[in-house]
Amino acid sequence: MTNSFVWSWLTVALVTALVLSLYELYRKREKRGGVRGARVPRGSNGWPFIGESLDFISCALSSKPESFVDKRRILYGKVFKTHLFGAHTILSSDVEVSRFILHSDAKTFVPDYPSSLMELMGKSSILVCNGDLQRRVHGLVGYFLKSGQLRDQVTSDLVRRMDGAMKDWKDGEVVLIQDQAKSILFPILVKALIGLEPGNDMHFIRYQFQEFVAGLISFPIKLPGSQLQRSLQAKKRIAAIIKRILQKKRNNIKGRIPRDAIDVLISDNNDELTDELISDNMVDFMIPAEDSVPVLITLVIKYLSECPRALHQLEDENMKLKNRKLMLGENLSWTDYLSLSFTQDVISESLRMGNVIVSTWRKAVRDVEIKGLLIPKGWRVISYLRFMHLAEENYKDPYEFNPWRWRENDINRCSFMPFGAGQRLCPGMDLARLEAAIFLHHLVTNFTWVAEEDQVVNFPTVRMKGGMPIRAIRKKQAVQMQ
């Protein structure tokens, strides 16, 4: 009896000592001072294991995902600590801190997205890899995506595909803009990346691709039948087709002007750019074709449908350009589309309000101090772009769709980061703006429309729940009907 009593007490004492020393260790780490006595930002770790993940997800599922930041900003300030998806996390809604993070190189911060996404991208993906290799691939592909040759090709392909699709639209019938934008745009970017023309392989890739993207934000478990496993297999199937194309290209690249991203990468004669690396990266580069750009276009059309004054001004700007070109007997070039300044302001405003990419995720590879705050080595740092785009301190009446604000001088342009910033600034940003401008031009100069009820969904990715249904009426007929 006495023995067991002693043992029980000893056990309790040992466990208490262990817990206290672990707590002390944790406290020291939290309070660790930097050179100038920087402190880990204030905040809460939430519940054991799950941290504050449930609240983060429940806010993300609401119409105001930024409410997660809103609540904590009042308590702890613009930069606070939290615990999300199993990682100590610092969340920044501060423009200066976020820009510092995005402009830092891989000696300070490296990408650290959810594990399903990192697994599907693989180590060699430009979105994951660091240092010279990331800079090389980013530079080569970025330069190609900005080239006049590619913009010419994208412009003529997109105009042709839009004309083809719009021919099938019956007056007054429902058209799902999100689906239309995806099926029109996907083959255009795939051609720009791997040189493939529409056909059976394109159909197969698109079909497999939908399975691939379904796993990007999924449960990180690689069991047979799990979404992650199915997505990995889909990526392998797509990569196999790309490798076949790549090998053909390698055999006759000499003296040929690069026509797509694969040509550009193999012309670099860099041993690090293996077939494996190129084909895997090409699959990852396809994500904006199925997701970001079509969603941006869909959001622009949603906001325009709710703001007749902006729609009228955009229509006017585009009709003037169309008529001028008709009089001159010329086709529109990519420079014409990009010269539509109000159209670009409408696109900027839609990027600000819609936040196609909500946040960027990094991990600190060393202790980092900024503005008296310490970001400890190994911690995840989320720059919450959406909050900065919807903060009153950066934009007056932030929830009001106001494309005219982009002409005003007092706007805080540094806070506008829909395409990220720094080393990983999106290499496809100009292409995305061009594609959106072409789509809008052909829609508003040929059709009027009435939007049906729909709503924005923000999690796991941004999209319109019902695909943004509109009832479109061909313009000539609309005039006759008046």
| φ, ψ for residue 43, nearest 5 deg | 160, -170
Instruction: Report if residue 134 touches ligand HEM, rule: CB under 6 A.
Output: yes
Cβ proximity to ligand HEM: between 175 and 385 the closer is 385
The two beta strands, 380-383 and 87-92, are parallel
CB 381 within 8 A of CB 101: yes
Size of the site for ligand HEM (CB under 6 A): 23
Stretch that binds ligand HEM, among 156-164, 288-296, 372-380, 444-452 (CB under 6 A): 288-296
The helix (H) or strand (E) run that includes residue 203 is helix 200-214
Instruction: Report if residue 292 touches ligand HEM, rule: CB under 6 A.
Output: yes
Q: What residues form the annotated binding site for heme?
A: 426
Instruction: Report if residue 191 touches ligand HEM, rule: CB under 6 A.
Output: no
For ligand HEM, which residue has the nearest CB?
Answer: 428
* CB of residue 235 to ligand HEM, shortest distance in Å: 16
* CB of residue 29 to ligand HEM, shortest distance in Å: 27
* CB of residue 163 to ligand HEM, shortest distance in Å: 22
What does the CA dihedral 138, 143, 146, 149 come to, rounded to 10 degrees? -130
Cβ proximity to ligand HEM: between 313 and 383 the closer is 383
* CB of residue 137 to ligand HEM, shortest distance in Å: 7
Instruction: Report if residue 311 touches ligand HEM, rule: CB under 6 A.
Output: no
Q: Which of residues 135-164 bind ligand HEM (CB under 6 A)?
A: 138, 145
Q: Which of residues 431-470 bind ligand HEM (CB under 6 A)?
A: 431-432
Instruction: Report if residue 294 touches ligand HEM, rule: CB under 6 A.
Output: no
Cβ proximity to ligand HEM: between 360 and 415 the closer is 360
Site string for ligand HEM, 197-236 (x = CB under 6 A): ----------------------------------------
Instruction: Report if residue 187 touches ligand HEM, rule: CB under 6 A.
Output: no
Of positions 41, 122, 418, 469, contacts ligand HEM by CB under 6 A:
418
CB 246 within 8 A of CB 280: no
Of positions 109, 186, 285, 449, contacts ligand HEM by CB under 6 A:
285
Stretch that binds ligand HEM, among 8-16, 147-155, 352-360, 372-380 (CB under 6 A): 352-360
* CB of residue 354 to ligand HEM, shortest distance in Å: 9
Using CA atoms, how far apart are residues 397 and 103, in angstroms rounded to an integer? 29
Nearest to 218 by CA among 201, 203, 237, 232: 232
CB 119 within 8 A of CB 228: yes
Of positions 53, 360, 394, 415, contacts ligand HEM by CB under 6 A:
360
DSSP state of 222: -
Cβ proximity to ligand HEM: between 40 and 427 the closer is 427
Cβ proximity to ligand HEM: between 38 and 295 the closer is 295
Of positions 293, 300, 304, 307, contacts ligand HEM by CB under 6 A:
293
Stretch that binds ligand HEM, among 40-48, 60-68, 264-272, 285-293 (CB under 6 A): 285-293
Instruction: Report if residue 427 touches ligand HEM, rule: CB under 6 A.
Output: yes
Of positions 91, 196, 296, 364, contacts ligand HEM by CB under 6 A:
296
Site string for ligand HEM, 114-133 (x = CB under 6 A): ------------xx------
Instruction: Report if residue 419 touches ligand HEM, rule: CB under 6 A.
Output: yes
Cβ proximity to ligand HEM: between 293 and 437 the closer is 293
Instruction: Report if residue 356 touches ligand HEM, rule: CB under 6 A.
Output: yes
Q: In three state form, how does the secondary structure of the chain look? A: CHHHHHHHHHHHHHHHHHHHHHHHHHHHHHHCCCCCCCECCCECCCECCCECHHHHHHHHHCCCCCHHHHHHHHHHCCEEEEEECCEEEEEECCHHHHHHHHHCCCCCEEECCCHHHHHHHCCCCCCCCCHHHHHHHHHHHHHHHCCHHHHHHHHHHHHHHHHHHHHCCCCCCEEEHHHHHHHHHHHHHHHHHHCCCCCHHHHHHHHHHHHHHHCCCCCCCCCCCCHHHHHHHHHHHHHHHHHHHHHHHHHCCCCCCCCCHHHHHHHCCCCCCCHHHHHHHHHHHCHHHHCHHHHHHHHHHHHHHCCHHHHHHHHHHHHHHHHHHHHHCCCCCHHHHHCCHHHHHHHHHHHHHHCCCCCEEEEECCCEEECCEEECCCCEEEECHHHHHCCCCCCCCCCCCCHHHHHCCCCCHHHCCCCCCHHHCCCCHHHHHHHHHHHHHHHHHHEEEEECCCCEECCCCCEECCCCEEEEEEHHHHHHHC
Q: What residues form the annotated binding site?
A: 426
Of positions 84, 321, 426, 440, contacts ligand HEM by CB under 6 A:
426
**Sites of contact with ligand HEM (CB under 6 A):** 111, 126-127, 134, 138, 145, 285, 288, 292-293, 296, 356-357, 360, 418-420, 424, 426-428, 431-432
